[in-house]
Structure 1
Amino acid sequence: MRFRSEVKAAEQSSDEAQMRRARALARNAHHYEKTRAFGKLVAQIQLGQGTARHALHLHDW
């Protein structure tokens, strides 16, 4: 899971605000990963390296 180290560090610090931020990052990590995958797809298409299996399906986003 992405941002796991931030959650662990926040829990050890006992800073409630830091814990909330870290938990929010971890909870939303899948959005960041989807955004990164989308950026990679766009870059591949722009470079002419896109293939049929990399077809853009907006309903997945």
Structure 2
Amino acid sequence: MRLLFVSHSLPPDGRPLANVGGMQRVAQKLHESLDAKAADTDALDYESLLLRSAWRTLHAKVP
């Protein structure tokens, strides 16, 4: 099974968790749970990918 979970947050500089809302909290908990499960068993192969973008290039990555 492949699972794609996309969430976004546009926090102020130097405060990455300042505007974390419901979906970002769900994404964070999902990541923590899957990472822990993968560490405990060989039945789950888990990879995560975090994409970040600067404010000046955000328009190029977000329609």
Q: Fold-level match, TM-score > 0.5? A: no
More helix by share: 1
* Greater relative CO (CA pairs within 8 A, separation 6+): 1
Q: TM-score range by the shorter chain?
A: 0.3 to 0.5
TM-score (norm 2): 0.39
